[in-house]
Amino acid sequence: MGRFLYWMNVSLDLRIEQVPGDDGAGEWLRIDEELHREFNARARALAGMVQGRVIYETMEEYWPRAREDASLPEVMREYGEIWTGARKVLVSRTRHTAGYGTRIIGGDDAIDQLAALRAETDGTLGVGGANLATQLLRAGLLDELLLFTHPAILGFGRPLFDDYDHPIDLDLIEQRSFGQGVTMHHYSLREAKPC
């Protein structure tokens, strides 16, 4: 049985973007080479990536081109290779095609399809996108959180979860500090439903 892991960069007040559409590129983020290498290692270890439309389109726009952009650091070109070659699922009601071997899940039974994907997967499926993560959380299918917390308080912007108002019990699996004050906290959720 697989696990859904919601992986995000967050501010200290659990915001994932300050300005709508900053697509993970806000000036508040402190991503250096050491942290990017950690991202690469963790992404490489995933059994697959499950992304909502907004984050998928952000990734699709940037990472395939980054693979071959000699002006970028090697660590970023490497992530471009990892993302492009990874097993990917796009969850969308509006997209019907996608490149790079991406499977599309959509429609009224998307949560059921995601539950089946989780049941048939051996390993961890990285989840990208607040809307998707919130839907998985509501369905009891979200298993873990991997938060890279940057030393900034944004005060406003998109939260980690969309409109979720129930307590969530977590267990800390691992934690680590990186340069520039970034910390990683990896949690398991106690409420996830078994397959």
CA distance 3 to 142: 7
Count of beta carbons in the 10 Å neighbourhood of residue 96: 9
CA distance 13 to 15: 6
Q: Which two tokens stand for residue 55?
A: 């984050």
CA distance 79 to 113: 28
pTM for the structure as a whole = 0.91
The pLDDT value recorded for residue 164 is 73
Q: Where are the domains of the chain?
A: 3-189
End-to-end CA distance of the chain: 7
The pLDDT value recorded for residue 27 is 84
Indicate the SS3 state at residue 118.
helix
Residue range 3-189, CATH number: 3.40.430.10
pLDDT tens-place values along the chain, 195 residues long: 899 999 999 999 999 987 665 555 678 999 999 999 999 999 999 999 999 999 999 999 999 999 999 999 999 999 999 999 999 999 999 999 999 999 999 989 999 999 999 999 999 999 999 999 999 999 999 999 999 999 999 998 889 998 777 888 999 999 999 999 999 999 999 875 665
Q: Which two tokens stand for residue 41?
A: 């290692």
Phi, psi of 137 (to 5 degrees): -60, -45
Rg, the chain, Cα only = 16
Q: Under a CB-based contact definition with an 8 Å cutoff, are residues 158 and 21 in contact?
A: no
The pLDDT value recorded for residue 56 is 95
In 3D, which of 121, 80, 115, 78 has the Cα closest to residue 100? 80
Q: Under a CB-based contact definition with an 8 Å cutoff, are residues 128 and 52 in contact?
A: yes
In 3D, which of 40, 48, 111 has the Cα closest to residue 76? 40
The pLDDT value recorded for residue 165 is 75
CA 18 vs. chain centroid, Å, equals: 17
The pLDDT value recorded for residue 147 is 98
